[in-house]
Amino acid sequence: MSLVTLLPFIVLIGAMILMTRSAKKKQQQAVDMRNQMQPGSGVRTIGGMYATVKEVSEDTVLLDAGPGVELLFAKNSIGAVLSDEEYNRLVHGIEHDLKSDVVPDDASSLTETDEPSDDASAASDDKPIDLGKKDASDDAADETAEAKAAHKADEAEPKKTDGESDAK
């Protein structure tokens, strides 16, 4: 057999060896992470539940999921051990001093000054400008008044039922 014929098999075997090495590395990292668990640390299970570690034994972990709720999990079911800051942020909603660096929603707070400007005070003393909408609103008010009067007149007349018709 020639070297050209064996080359694809050699590349395939090399790729398989590299993949198994990376998988073993990930497994070893997960085992190390689970061994670092201590009582009081926050964890996330592979099912997505957040809890605090209460006790750690050889193959199991006792988790405190809330007041009076203790759950026994296999160590392999722990997906991640969280730092205290991350656990508090996710579970309790406690942010780490980032609220002092809040960006405003609009730029008006960035341009405001403590002293009122002359233009702003002059603009607030002016009366609103009449753009001729008064006539249109008077017409609409008159039409509304006529409609109300017609409605009251209809209510004053007694309603007829099916059995009492005036037609002969």
Is the pTM higher than 0.85? The answer reads no
Residue-level pLDDT at 61: 92
55 beta partners = 62
pLDDT tens for the chain, residues 1 to 168: 688 888 889 999 999 998 999 889 988 888 888 888 889 889 999 998 999 999 998 889 999 988 889 999 998 889 888 888 888 888 878 765 555 556 666 766 666 665 555 555 555 556 767 676 555 555 556 666 666 666 665 555 555 566 655 555
Residue-level pLDDT at 72: 93
Q: Which runs of consecutive H residues, i.e. helices, occur in the chain?
A: 3-35, 84-87, 108-111, 118-125, 133-156
Residues 65, 45 contacting (CB under 8 angstroms): no
d(CA 28, CA 43) in angstroms, rounded, equals 18
Strand order in the sheet with 69-74: 69-74, 60-66, 50-56, 42-45, 78-82
Beta carbons within 10 angstroms of residue 73's beta carbon:
19
Q: Structure tokens of 41?
A: 């640390």
